[in-house]
Amino acid sequence: MGKTQIYNIVKAFVYLSKKLLLMFPIGDDNVKGGPFPFFSYLFILINVLVYFVIEVPALTSDSTATLFFEQWAGQACELSKGESLITLLTSIFLHGSLMHLGGNMIFLWVFGDNIESTIGNLKFAFFYLVGGVIATYTHVFLAGATDCTPLVGASGSIAAVLGAYLVMFPKSRIKLWFILFSYKISAIFFLGFWLIQQFSGIGVKDIPGGGDNVAYWAHIGGFVFGIIAGFLFKGTTRLVMLENGEQEYHTLAYQPHRYNNRVNLAKFFKG
């Protein structure tokens, strides 16, 4: 089998996996108890405001866009030399397009609140930001320290959230919506498929003429960090089966007297 055939197979897999993930998550098993997920919502708000209030006006031309991203986006060629370290944080709140922003915020909306309501607000905020930094440096050292392409997006931090979620809520069921119907699949299957997609994306990039502008190594680095953190956080919830056949998680550190996570989007997508 030649390189062209291998490339076409891997590319087809990446295409199909992206189509699966376009069946975007709209809900998961609830967590009952714990603090209100303040930072999950705050990070979503900050990302949206930064994009529409700061980025959109700044990107009115190619020249202003270049200057903006050179100043605030992460660049491996600088970070590898210990320069522009502030961009380790600022780049987490920048996005390359409205679709980029929307996809990341949907994942943060669905997966972030369960973790924050379980481990606490400040611990989650620290975990989220550190995950983004580690994800960025994973990209720097594994994808090329001389690359000066701007690196933006909350994907690394959110990948850390996904890694922790996989360890902390392995039996959770993720509700996906696709066009006119919705259905549930296990968190292990959904997140496992997401991880395979990241390695497949790297495989395409390694073939001459293949690939895209996605920082797959950053995603993997954030995910691995999240898995490690998830083992440290694990054991703070218990799974409870309800009489109607549904299930939910109850926090152990807090009295499970009310639901503290997001408004349930699944109510609006019946299936």
Comparison of pLDDT for 220 and 20, the residue scoring more = 220
Can you give the pLDDT at residue 208?
42
| pLDDT over threshold 60, residue 260 | no
**CB distance 80 to 136 below 8 Å:** no
Can you give the pLDDT at residue 5?
56
Comparison of pLDDT for 269 and 170, the residue scoring more = 170
pLDDT tens-digit readout, 5-60: 555 555 555 555 555 555 678 888 777 777 889 999 999 999 999 999 999 888 77
Mean pLDDT within 83-87: 91
Domain span at residue 200? 3-268
Can you give the pLDDT at residue 166?
94
What is the residue whose two structure tokens read 């109510």? 267
Distance CA 247, CA 45 (A): 29
Mean pLDDT within 54-68: 81
| pLDDT over threshold 50, residue 267 | no
Read off the pLDDT band of 263 (50, 70, 90).
very low
Read off the pLDDT band of 155 (50, 70, 90).
very high
Can you give the pLDDT at residue 48?
96
* 179: alpha, beta or left? (left if phi > 0; alpha if psi -120 to 50): left
pLDDT tens-digit readout, 111-153: 999 899 889 999 999 999 999 999 999 999 987 777 888 899 9
Can you give the pLDDT at residue 125?
97
Q: How many structural domains is the chain composed of?
A: 1
**CB distance 132 to 226 below 8 Å:** no
Query: Residue 126's domain is classified under what CATH number?
Result: 1.20.1540.10
CB-based burial, 142-181: b 16+ in 10 Å, e otherwise: ebeeeeeebbbbbbbbbbbbbbbbbbbbeebbbbbbeeee
Read off the pLDDT band of 210 (50, 70, 90).
very low
Q: What is the pTM of this model?
A: 0.82
Mean pLDDT within 198-218: 67
Mean of the per-residue pLDDT values of the chain: 81
